[in-house]
Chains A and B, each alone.
Chain A
Amino acid sequence: GESVGLHLPTLSVQEGDNSIINCAYSNSASDYFIWYKQESGKGPQFIIDIRSNMDKRQGQRVTVLLNKTVKHLSLQIAATQPGDSAVYFCAEKSDYKLSFGAGTTVTVRA
């Protein structure tokens, strides 16, 4: 079975609100956890990653949180914009390989 999964397949957010996308993982040996964004008709695009020995990392308008106790990863997007509408995948890295979850489709309401 999959080692990485997302809690909800869809998320609808009001423009300007903050978004929180969740992911559960099972492989404690992974050394990095990553978030990718995929827009319609395009390949996935790297957003941000976090090393397994960290619990929080911030980027531009995004924050990733890692809770190793409950094996939970989340992506927070501040002030969600229409351009944030996409499918978001969490992934984990082990050796040279990335394993992806099923994805959460985020829709931003005007």
Chain B
Amino acid sequence: NAGVTQTPKFQVLKTGQSMTLQCAQDMNHNSMYWYRQDPGMGLRLIYYSASEGTTDKGEVPNGYNVSRLNKREFSLRLESAAPSQTSVYFCASSVPGLVSEAFFGQGTRLTVV
């Protein structure tokens, strides 16, 4: 049982480049999330998808787009990467009635130079 799988694990981008972070879960969860983690700031919610077919902005959505491709997959896209987007990105999923118990992936460490 893989849980939540994120790809890639590491990525270096040049300013202005675009990329998509992939996330897939095999727990049949309805809700999925993207967070970014910066030193001393905890995790901040970028976007979330309460169920397949819906997406909503979180705390820090600017510069990002998301796609809930199907129930398993939730991708995060950076259209024009900026150094301020250097961070560790985490995908998570949960059962709607048990949102407090979210399952996180291993993270993607992104550096924008």
Contact = CB atoms under 8 A, between A and B. Distances in A.
B104 A43 contact: yes
A43 B42 contact: no
A100 to B, nearest CB: 4
Contacts, number: 60
Contacts of B78: none
Interface in A48-88: 49
Nearest to B90: A43
Give chain B's interface residue range (CB within 8 Å of chain A).
20 to 34
Interface string B33-44: 101000011111
Contact of B99 (A9, A43, A96): A96
Contact of B100 (A9, A32, A101, A103): A32
Given A44-B90, A49-B101, A103 B106 contact: no
Contacts of A2: 42
Interface string B62-89: 0000000000000000000000000000
7 contacts: A34-B100, A34-B101, A41-B107, A43-B104, A46-B101, A49-B101, A89-B42
Interface of B: 4, 31, 33, 35, 40-45, 48, 50, 56, 58-59, 90, 92, 96, 99-107
